[in-house]
Chain A
């Protein structure tokens, strides 16, 4: 997966192949969306939803509805890496705000934005369930913590 500025035709073809395996399987929609996000820039933008809808035979409005309901799906294009800062109480007490500010400063973006090169998207999320390691963040599927603001530069620089 390259840095994500646009979805290329090759990716759309992969999405189509994946979705086609579950034709008519409305119950598999969440699973498909999850797998598609991994290959399509951490997001399910309009062109991707159209392909899923067509291949699975589910109305676009329904796919869109499910995709906007779950916080882990995004219909806005996101970066190659989605960084999620936990905003629940334990992390908050242990200094999540400072960690978040450090990330915003290092990446040069605010929460909800994506870096210009399409590499990182910064988000907040609900409890990650690792309060013993608070304040914690999650980068794609991996969790990190406890973090201090000064750890951020080294940590994020590891992601290519």
Chain B
């Protein structure tokens, strides 16, 4: 099929849109409602082009190519129409750009800059919606900046099947909101942040906790202990303008030290600990007839989803805390004693790819006697902001090592950041503990990949262990329905709330599947090439730690510190 775009004749495939065809010859048409990961919406009309023989301008995002089609993407008529569309959108968009969290990363701002608004808008400014919703520990919603593109609703319903955001009213009054504008923290929102990832403007942003972190860093009485999640090491460089999938673990540690953090530890260590605790629990359930399938509990948005929509299935969740929760308990209850401080003198800071971790840190189960195990959670985006504001040239930094004793993690812990990683890490350990034999090949490639749901059966001793890996809560919902109907004959299921796992988390630089794929490759590269130990139970730091505690996984103090319980949250309106 041949199509002519701006006098260039190109060969295109059947079914391709003008937007995709134009990309092939290096024309990047402007878009707002269109997101490469999502279905076509054609709401905003900013991508309009002239198609010969068509009376009106056509949206390039939805209009499919036909043989012999002649398209002009940059005529006077097109430019005028686009400018008009932008003017109309800007006329109901609160323009406090300098104070906006999306300043310089806003798609609308970028387009406005490209199209040059030198004159005053012909239409008076009238914004919709009332008040900023600051109720959620994770997400800030400012309806005055909503441009009604519908990307948040798509992410919330299609990826996550949570259905908390939807279109409200019609015509000029339209904007996207919770039912009855109810505050996020009273709604069924699970804090995953996929809506933030989808939003082109500052209508949905991550709650900014950087001031809290700065205050602790500048407080001489506080010992600031940071933990860094596995996914952060392949995300932070990207958030600071480098290529997707750049591995920057050494520079990240240096940067945190330069910011004034006293100890920088690796959440990779507690990921290994999670495998020890969760793996032991799985073996226990398999041998003593516990509730099966057992489901992972690392992802706080998934845990909240289960509590809200499937409270009767909570018995399936592993009682092991998430790696963040475990590390918080270690910092406050164990490490504080080692360095002769009270838990209140410790400031437990965690650097996460995740907006829901902010919510998790505030869960009452993860705290005691007026203090929480994790005091402050910063997402990758917030840390990038702190690094920039501290005048640190991230690209020029030397590498440093994590502090001891919690600086050594295994390759199994690192791949926690990608969907399938927890499963693979667990299999690497459970297999060897159950059979007493070493694995010949520790790469369980059948559970890897970005396909929504993956299944495998692994022979562990006499038992064929049937496992399932899924990411994205819409996929999780399907698995939960199977469990509800008694049709899920799996032994172990890994569920991550965000599509792609933590590397697709709400706190990272803005996502698309190409970026997530690069981040995923980087994580498996660290596992395969950079780390001497690739199995959690073989991590010497883990062995030493259990010796220090004087218990085996799942017992005594380990059970007290590293396990939790869940609450039925189904009273919230669905």
Contact = CB atoms under 8 A, between A and B. Distances in A.
A133 interface: no
A65 B167 contact: yes
A2 interface: no
B163 interface: yes
A16 B168 CA distance: 24
Nearest to A50: B573
Interface string B541-573: 000000000000000000000000000000001
B338 interface: no
B573 A64 contact: no
B165 interface: yes
B180 A53 contact: no
B335 to A, nearest CB: 43
Contacts of B180: 46, 64, 75
Given A68-B169, A68-B170, A75-B180, A61 B573 contact: no
B169 A61 contact: no
Interface residues of A, number: 15
A92 interface: no
Contacts of B573: 50, 53, 60
A60 B168 CA distance: 12
A59 B573 CA distance: 9
A62 B169 contact: no
Contacts of A60: 163, 179, 573-574
A49 B167 contact: no
Given A50-B573, A53-B574, A54-B574, A61 B170 contact: no
Contacts of A50: 573
A79 B384 CA distance: 54
B166 interface: yes
B32 interface: no
B133 to A, nearest CB: 15
Contacts of A159: none
Contacts of B166: 59, 61-62, 64-65
A69 B167 contact: yes
Classify the interface of chain A: helix, strand, loop or mixed: helix
Contacts of B170: 68-69
A62 B573 CA distance: 13
Contacts of B167: 65, 69
Interface in A38-57: 46, 49-50, 53-54
Contacts of A75: 180
B226 interface: no
A44 B88 CA distance: 32
Nearest to B179: A64
B469 interface: no
A54 B167 CA distance: 19
A62 B163 contact: yes
A50 B187 CA distance: 12
Contacts of B157: 59, 61
Interface string A61-88: 1111100110000010000000000000
Nearest to A63: B179
Contact of B164 (A49, A54, A61, A68): A61
B178 interface: yes
B574 A49 contact: no
Contacts of A69: 167, 169-170
A68 B167 CA distance: 9
Nearest to A75: B180
A61 B168 CA distance: 9
Contacts of B169: 68-69
A69 B167 CA distance: 9
Given A60-B179, A62-B163, A68 B168 contact: yes
Most buried by B among A50, A61, A75: A61
Most buried by A among B157, B164, B178, B574: B574
A64 B170 CA distance: 12
Interface string B148-178: 0000000001000001111111100000001
Contacts of A54: 574
Nearest to A58: B163
A64 B574 contact: no
Given A50-B573, A60-B179, 15 more contacts: A46-B179, A46-B180, A54-B574, A59-B166, A60-B574, A61-B163, A61-B164, A61-B179, A62-B166, A64-B168, A65-B168, A68-B169, A68-B170, A69-B167, A75-B180
7 contacts: A60-B573, A60-B574, A61-B178, A61-B179, A63-B179, A64-B166, A64-B180
Q: Ordered nearest first, which 3 A-B pairs have the shortest CB separation?
A: A59-B163, A61-B166, A64-B179
